[in-house]
Every structure is written in structure tokens, then in C-alpha cells.
Amino acid sequence: MAFYDSFFDRVGLRDWCDAGKSGDGGPVSMADLLAKAGVKKDESAFDVPFPSLDELHKACASIGQSRDVTKGVENGFLAIKDGLRFVLDPITQPLSWLLEFALATIEATPWWIMFPILAFIVYLASKSFRLVLFVMACLGFLAFVDLYDHAMQTLAVIYVCAFLCVLLGVPIGIAMSRSDKLQRMIIPVLDMLQTLPPFVYLIPLIFLFSITEPKLYGVAIILYAIVPVIRLTDLGIRLVDEDVIEAANSFGMTDRQKLFGVQIPLALPNIMAGINQTIMMSLAMVVIASLVSAPGLGVLVLRGIRNLELGVGLVSGFGIVLLAIILDRVTKAALNRVNAAQKQ
């Protein structure tokens, strides 16, 4: 600390530093208390602290502290919160309606109707009776241990959010593949969304939306899970062979015809792989989103953690594993069918 005191003295900023002193010095550290008591610490060159805001503030009160930075970020967000809510509320309200409708439909449909519907969907995607039997066995086990309702709620949320991820992500990926400038603009945003810890998604959304609104966890899931389908759609279209594009040009195809007749069909394996990863990430986020009232198996996992109910946490966690296996097997079976169709 003496090092920085002498530095500000030598450069002639002592008067400016002392002008920033106030009666409220903030929290007092143990080092300050010892210094006031007359206890001095022997300092050496190895004890010089990094010139962080807090260290510089101790020597020069006019320099702000690190808490001023975090407080400034918080005040800045709160200042624009009302404006953001005014813009985002009507845009995201349909997401709440979709989630509420999907959850109400799932809860109102009895198991003896839902099982054949899911079996039919799995067969359409995979054309495999073995996979259908495996999925029905997994769902039967979840129902046997009274996790059926929570599992169906989880599937409903994943269905809505993954569908919207594909609906929004594929066009964005197509637009990126057709414009290098747009790709350079969007890639940093995707990098941020992909590296941001999942819990951080929830912090600003809690301030923007009511915790009772489904769009709170819906927006968090979509932001977290949309990245793979955008990236792999862009990559798949860019990997289409240039010779194929030249052949399409020689036939006089328009850009629209090339996109829907050549590029998207050839990029479909990559797009399907992106959809698979989006569904898996949706499942991962829907568990974390149980912290902000997202229904499903994540609620039981959270209950097991809060109440130290080991059995509830482990069994519901195993149910999430089964759902992940089901979703992964079905989407990969659909991807294999697409690859097999293209090789013929």
C-alpha cells in the first residue's frame, strides 16, 4: 500500500486523491484495522499487490472501487429494464401461451392415449420397432415409479423450446451461410451464448419477467440451446460441394431453387446433427430452469438437493438420463435415415 501512496505523491496527485475522501469508506479490512491499531506489516518487493481498483482506492480515494463497477452495471440494467420489458413482453408472450398449451395438453391426455402417439412418432422418425419397444419400456418404467407426469412435462417443454430453436435457428444459419459479413457479426454472439454459464442466463431474465411466467424459463432454454442448430446449418450449407453449385447454375436454377433443391437437402445431415444437439441442450437447461419454476423432473432433482432426499434426487436424475437416451436415440435414428437416403 505504501508503494501506491508514494506513487501518487510523486506524480503530484495527492490533492486530487484526498479530495475524494468521504466519511463512508465502505467495509474496513483487517489490514486497515491493524494499521489503525499501530500494528505495521513489514513490506518487501514481493508484497506489492496488483494495482486493482480496490488497492488503488486505498491509496487514492478519488479512484473508484470494484464494487462501483458492479453497482454501475446493476444500475445501468435497472435503468433500461422497463424499456426492455415494454419491447420484450409482447414478443415473448406467444412463448408463454405455447408452453401453457403444451403443458395443459400433456396433463389432460391419459397415458393410454399418449403412449400410442409417442410410439407412432418414434416409428415415423426411426422406422424401427426395436427402438419403439425400447422407448415404451423406458416410459413404462417412469410411469411405474410415478414419474410419468413429471417426465411428460419435461418432454412438453423440450418439444416447444426445441421446435422454436429450429424454427428460428435454421433461417439464421441459412442467412449466415449466404453472407460472410453477417456470419462475422453473429459468430461472437454465438460464442458468448455457448460459453456463458447456464445459471447466468437466468439472472437478467428474473428481473425482466415474472417468475410465474413460463416465458422466463422458455427464453433461457432457447438462448442456451439455439446455438448448435445455427452453427451446423451454416456449416452444412457452406460445405456443399462447389461442383454441385456450378451444376445447378448451369441448369439456370435461381438462388431460391438452389437453396431448397440442392443446398438444404445436402446439408440436412448437418442440420439434423444440430437439431440433436439442440434437443440435448434443451434437456440440460430445463433441469437448471427448475430454479425459476420450470416444471418437470428438474423440480424433483431440486427437491432432492434442498431437502437432502437422496432417493428422490437419484431416481428423478435417472429419469432424466432415460429421457436423454430416448431423445438421443430417436434423433440419431432419424439422422441415420437421412444419411442412408442420400447415399442411395
CB 85 within 8 A of CB 208: yes
Q: Please, what is the angle between helix 148-177 and helix 129-144, to 10°?
A: 130
Q: Find how far residue 301's CA is from the centre of its chain.
A: 19
Statement to judge: residues 18 and 84 lie in one domain: no
What's the pLDDT at 64? 82
Statement to judge: residues 147 and 277 lie in one domain: yes
What's the pLDDT at 45? 56
How would residue 120 be classed by pLDDT, with cut points 50, 70 and 90? very high
pLDDT tens-digit readout, 214-263 = 999 999 999 999 999 999 999 999 999 888 888 888 888 888 889 888 89
Sequence-ordered list of residues with C-beta below 8 angstroms from that of 92, at least 6 positions apart, any chain: 209, 215, 218, 219
Statement to judge: residues 265 and 149 lie in one domain: yes
Statement to judge: residues 58 and 80 lie in one domain: no
CB 234 within 8 A of CB 199: no
Give this prediction's pTM.
Answer: 0.85
> Is 80 exceeded by the pLDDT of residue 30?
no
Domain that holds residue 50: 2-64
How would residue 23 be classed by pLDDT, with cut points 50, 70 and 90? low
Statement to judge: residues 317 and 178 lie in one domain: yes
What's the pLDDT at 11? 75
pLDDT tens-digit readout, 68-113 = 889 999 999 989 998 989 999 999 999 999 999 999 999 999 999 9
Query: What are the backbone angles phi and psi of residue 29, rounded to the nearest 5°?
Result: -85, 165
> Is 60 exceeded by the pLDDT of residue 32?
no
70 is a domain residue: no
Q: How many domains does the chain have?
A: 2
Q: Calculate what percentage of the chain has a pLDDT beyond 90.
A: 53
Sequence-ordered list of residues with C-beta below 8 angstroms from that of 228, at least 6 positions apart, any chain: 273, 274, 277, 278, 281
